[in-house]
Structure 1
Amino acid sequence: MTITHAPHPTDPRSIGPYQVLGVLGVGGMGQVYLAAGPSGPVALKVVHPGLAADPRFRTRFAREVEASRLVRGPWTAAVVDADPDASTPWLATEYVPGVPLSRAIVTTGPLPPPAVAALAAHLARALTAIHEADLVHRDVKPGNVLLTADRPRMIDFGISRALDGTRMTSTGMAVGTPAFMSPEQADGSELTTASDLFSLGSVLVWAATGTGPFGEGNPVTLLRRILTAEPGLGALTGSVRELVAECLRRDPADRPAAAELAARLPPAPVGGGWLPPAVAALVPDPTRFAGPPAPPPLPARRVTRRGLLVGLGAVLATAAVGGAGAAAAGLFRGGSDPVTGGPARPLAPRWTYPTGGPVSCMAAGDGVVYAAGADAVAHTVDVRTGHARWTYSLRGGGSRHVPAVVDGTVYIDDDRLTVYALDATGALRWEADGRLIAASAGIVFASTTDGTSRDQVTGYDAATGGVRWNSPVEDALGMAFALDNPGATSDGRVHVGLENALRTLDAATGKTLWEQPLPDLATVTAGSSTVYGTGGAATADSVLVAFDAATGRERWRRAVEDRYGEIAVHDGTVYVDGGHGVGLSALDAETGEPRWELGRGTPFTRAMYGTAPVVAGDTCYIGGIRIGGLDADPAFTLFAHDTATGEERWSVDLALDTGYTASIALVGDTVVLGSERFDATSGAIAAIA
């Protein structure tokens, strides 16, 4: 595990007795940090807020943490500390300075036979230790195997069991990674330790050949092969091939136990030299675990990058386009005041409209901004006056998803999975079950269940709320919805983000037009003829893929800094916020080739970008935290970049409390900022003069 970047300004500075040093990535539970503790470095796994709010998950998590503490040995990353009862539960494991097997194979190619044999022997011993503690790992895959200088280590044992009930309840999906699932996982049967042996066999085939025993394809295809096809063993040889074949037997009773497998394999080599030189070069130096320097201390608060829209605290408006924009450019070009030559003068709010809690979502309308959040109220605020045109109380708690505004009607959902249709006066037209995905003229799209907890996409009539169609999601085969159900519409189609695929439906009928695999899909954005999706491991191996919206043909793909980076498409260019403050890129929409890039691959300390880019005319607007502004305290800054060159035209520091982040929207000729005040009980909507 290696640091991907320094902590974001909104990341916590400490968790329990641990000081956060850097970000390692995102795991099954949530964010993963490198942290320093009383006994040395640890990998600190912080539970996703959505899981933390589920009492069933907390109960399972506490139980599995206690069981996981019993696992000890040189082949696993031991659990050293945890707090299941914290407001945001966390788990600390031994820090392992290693490279994931998934990254090693993708980077350097398949392992040679001696390394595969050594890997098999070590991992058999890792599973022996886990099974002797009465645990079933449930997610044995290359990403959960870390290669270190002296041996591999297995991580995340026990966590999948804690996640199991939550995911099965919320998505109907079997826990695991489709390509490495056992047949009993694929068909939803009860799991025993034998399931881990099947998954181990798949991992070893993949390590030796670069392809799993059931080939490649979308999750549906792979799981069907696991249930019906014979595995291919590729380049595996000797005793390892024989034992892997036994692990891949379809009947769990016919597979060897982990201890038996370990006894029958050649002794596991320990120490340097077991890895090929190209792979060994990827392993981080164990004496250097501190990673890049952390930015100045910030308020201890974690906000997930997936939705900086999720958890907004105020909506701030400032004229920045047209005449007002030209004036701003004259006053604040390059972040400095041309009159004094000093730093740009911070701007203060022109008006303030209080809300009952942080605002979690925002959309622009005709002269207004629509905002809702923790106070369970939809606010419609006139950008010119700062007064509410109307408000509407949501019965099911707060809202987390961006409203859709179509033909004067606002569609919004709440935390209890209700979709509301509100007219131009704020009156309720209809409500229906589900979580909002997107809306178009005539149809509103939501994720729902069919009454038996099976996921489906539902098309509601925009005028009446009546059901036009339901399109099932094959939940038993792993095609459940991603956490935030990303979606977009284009030309009579709705593009829906699943857990590991992008599916496009006919908007009028719900018929599936095409589907393309995209592992760990995170965002979906549609242009006029192209739909874009991001996926892959968060911050590592993240990709942006462009598909033809009509046929699903892949047009291009490109590595990006973080799959949670937000995307804007404008006039033949795709603008990508790097995610976690690492930069901004402009790509040719047809080819994916970069037109310009800011901060890619380096800590972008001048400004920690944190918003989705917004483009108007020849200007790209983006906002984030400026390190060192406002007397060395972090300041939220609005940046304007030339769309042709990426050059910064001007920037404005906003005189806000530290700890603000923001999103951006355009209301007419006004740039609207939606920012978060780190206060769970109050919020504000304000305009900047």
Structure 2
Amino acid sequence: DVYKRQRRSLVGLLAGGAVLAGGGAAALAISGDSSLSPARGAGGAGTPAPSGPPSGAPATSAPSASASSADGPEPVVLAGPDAAPAWSRAGKYAPTCLEATDEVIMVVGRKSTSFLAAATGKRAFDALNTKDEFGASMGRHPTAHADGVFYLLCDTPDQFGLLMAFDAARGKVKWAVNLAAGDPGGAEVVSMYSKNYVAVAGKTVYVCGQVRELDGKSSFDEPTTGYIRAFDAATGKVRWEAKGTDINNVLVPPSGSRLLAASAVPAKKPGQVRMIDAARKGARGWKKPVPHTSYYFTTGWPLTCYAAGLFLFAGGAGDTLLAVDAATGREKWQRRFEARNGDQVRIGTPFPSVDGGTVHVPVGSDLVALATADGTARWVARLDGASDTGGANLFKASLRLGGRHAQCSADTVFATDSANTLWAIDEATGRARWKYTDDSQPDVGFLWTVGGDRVFIASHMTMTAIAARRS
């Protein structure tokens, strides 16, 4: 078993090789689809019109959402005090990605992986000689956390292409797998597997990306072939693998055995999303057609979300959020965002509250909170002012760039904007608790994560922690 031999040698190598590291807005209407009867809305008969924005194209205007009827929520313009950090500490190296629990922050860098105490920022454990030079980006996110374990796509000085699991309470290596060793062909490289992101659901760890055969016959004009590799979270043992042009941007919910994948960009045909059944080793389940030009068919980080048994994704011309039953694919409801002045409206990456009862939808300068059960708008939070480039200020999650631009704690919504500001928004009201602005951030924006009820921000070589309720 190639994977088993690699795990034994890697854990020994890493344990022995540990090193220490120092510490213009357009008015929008929000409405349900009035053409759907209750029976049709529950049964999934409606199909989005086959039109949409160019694949991957960012919004150029800043549409903002307001209720389409008298009983809808009035937008709340975000304004709040500057945050008072709980602590701030300088390090020796700029991190490439972060992951955190309520007690420990895993700080991944170009030379090592270190662990800091969430309460103080001081070193929690000795650093390990594992590294990730590319870090988190538009189409890549190499870290995950679940049930007291950190997972990381990384390299060591001697090996590359590893998946590793660390005990978050001790900072020790649980297991390590050389992903390249499991590629078809063994020692002979016959395929190139990109490793875009790692995710965890229950007792399974998933690595997702794209694969390209190195036989000289494939073309970059052909639809992208994606893959999913499933590993046992306790041991690192491989469970199954699936691949195909219908597997891209795989969404892995934190629980359950159903995954959602988008097809590669097809030629002049409607695209589709489809369910992947992890309980049946990646067997294909239901599928639903959607416009082939929708942005989430591009490769990279998932641009869909899961909440309370529903998969949610954009349809129509990118202006309609659809909610379908994860088990059956039946449409439960849809919510359309309509510009009143002719500007094009497109939904950004939706994201759920921790309890799954609310889905947050970024639309340009607005963040709209919808009830997961029926799509009812609860509140609308609106940005004001200009971005760092002089245009309208937008929520980064609305730009459909992938990656971590918004995240929730128990009762707080964290979201970044294009003016280098991180907002802490009350989950119940949509009002800002505080804001944190750093004009020295790199062009890619904040490098940050949430652990428990704190948010941790890396700005070059400085790490800052802010409590969700502190102002």
- Sort the TM-score into its range (normalised by shorter chain): 0.5 to 0.7
1:495 aligned onto 2:256: no
* Structure (1 or 2) with the larger CA radius of gyration: 1
Aligned partner of residue 327 in structure 2, secondary structure:
coil
Shift of 1:412: 1.7
Q: 1:557 to 1:437 in 2, by over 3 A?
A: farther
1:468 aligns with 2:239: yes
AA of the residue aligned to 1:552: G
Q: Once the 2 structures are TM-superposed, how far is the Cα of residue 650 of structure 1 from its aligned partner?
A: 3.0
Matched, 1:517 2:263: no
1:457 aligns with 2:228: yes
Aligned partner letter, 1:387: K
Question: Does 2:94 match 1:357?
Answer: yes
Equivalents in 1 of 2:414, 2:320: separation in Å? 23
Using the TM superposition, give the Cα deviation of residue 497 of structure 1 relative to its aligned residue in structure 2, in angstroms: 4.2
Identify if the C-alpha distance between structure 1 residues 585 and 142 changes in structure 2 by more than 3 Å, giving closer, same or farther. closer
TM superposition shift of 1:411: 1.4
User: Which amino acid in 1 is paired with 2:227?
Assistant: Q
Preserved CA contact (<8 Å) 1:437 1:496: no
The aligned counterpart of 1:430 is: 176
- Out of 374, 381, 385, the residue aligned to residue 120 of structure 2 is 385
Residue number in structure 2 paired with 1:674: 457
By how many angstroms is 1:624 displaced?
A: 3.7
8 Å Cα contact 2:258/2:277 also seen in 1: yes
- Aligned partner of 1:546: which letter? A
Conserved? CA contact 2:198–2:207, under 8 Å: yes
The answer to whether the Cα contact below 8 Å between 1:555 and 1:591 also exists between their aligned partners in 2 is yes
CA contact (8 A) 1:363 1:402 kept: no
Q: In the alignment, is the contact (CA less than 8 A) between 2:106 and 2:116 conserved in 1?
A: yes
Q: How far is the alpha carbon of 1:685 from its aligned partner?
A: 1.7
Match 1:545 to one of 298, 322, 325: 322
- Alpha-carbon contact 1:363-1:369 (below 8 Å) kept: yes
CA displacement 1:45-84 (0-9 Å, x = unmatched): xxxxxxxxxxxxxxxxxxxxxxxxxxxxxxxxxxxxxxxx
Structure 2: state its 5+ residue gaps.
1-23, 27-47, 63-77, 180-194, 215-224, 265-270, 297-301, 338-344, 397-404
Query: Which amino acid counterpart does residue 399 of structure 1 have in structure 2?
Result: G
How far did residue 367 of structure 1 move? 0.9
Match of 2:206 among 428, 445, 460: 445
Q: Percent identity?
A: 21
Q: 1:143 to 1:564 in 2, by over 3 A?
A: closer
Letter in structure 1 aligned against 2:408:
V
Contact 1:396 1:417 in 2 (8 A): no
Residue 609 in 1 paired to residue 395 in 2? yes
1:683 and 2:461 are equivalent in the alignment: yes
Do 2:251 and 2:259's aligned partners in 1 also have CA atoms closer than 8 Å? no
Secondary structure of 1:405 counterpart: strand
Verify: 1:572 aligned to 2:357, yes or no.
Answer: yes
TM-score normalised per structure 1: 0.41
Corresponding residue pairs, total: 334
Alignment of 1:526-537 (within 5 A): 526-534=306-314
Listed one character per residue, the Cα deviations across residues 482-518 of structure 1 (whole Å, up to 9, x for unaligned) are 4xx5443432223334434333222232222223234
What is the letter of the counterpart of residue 587 of structure 1?
Answer: L
The residue aligned with 2:105 is 369
Unpaired stretches in structure 1, ≥5 consecutive residues: 6-105, 110-140, 145-175, 178-290, 294-333, 337-343, 626-633
Decide whether the 8 Å contact of 1:438 with 1:444 is kept in 2.
yes
Residues 393 and 614 (structure 1), Cα distance of their counterparts in 2 relative to 1, 3 Å cut: same
> Is the alpha carbon distance of 1:356 and 1:492 closer, same or farther for their aligned partners in structure 2, counting shifts above 3 Å?
same
Distance in 2 of aligned mates of 1:378 and 1:535: 40
Other structure's SS at 2:91 match = strand
Offset, 1:471: 1.9
Once residues 575 and 556 of structure 1 are traced to their aligned partners in structure 2, the CA distance between those partners, rounded to angstroms, is 15
Deviation at 1:445, TM superposition (A): 1.4
The one of 425, 438, 461 equivalent to 1:640 is 425
What is the SS of the residue equivalent to 2:259? Answer: strand
Structure 1 residues 223-234: aligned runs within 5 Å: none
Q: Which has the higher strand share?
A: 2
Contact 2:371 2:377 in 1 (8 A): yes
1:435–1:394: structure 2 CA closer, same or farther, 3 Å change rule? farther
Matches within 5 A, 1:210-609: 335=79, 344=81, 347=84, 350-354=87-91, 356-360=93-97, 362-372=98-108, 375=110, 377-390=112-125, 391-394=127-130, 397-400=133-136, 401=141, 403-414=143-154, 417-424=161-168, 425-427=171-173, 429-433=175-179, 434-447=195-208, 452=213, 455-473=226-244, 475=245, 479=246, 481-482=248-249, 485-499=250-264, 500-508=271-279, 509-518=281-290, 519-521=294-296, 522-534=302-314, 541-559=318-336, 562-569=346-353, 570=355, 572-578=357-363, 582-599=365-382, 608-609=394-395
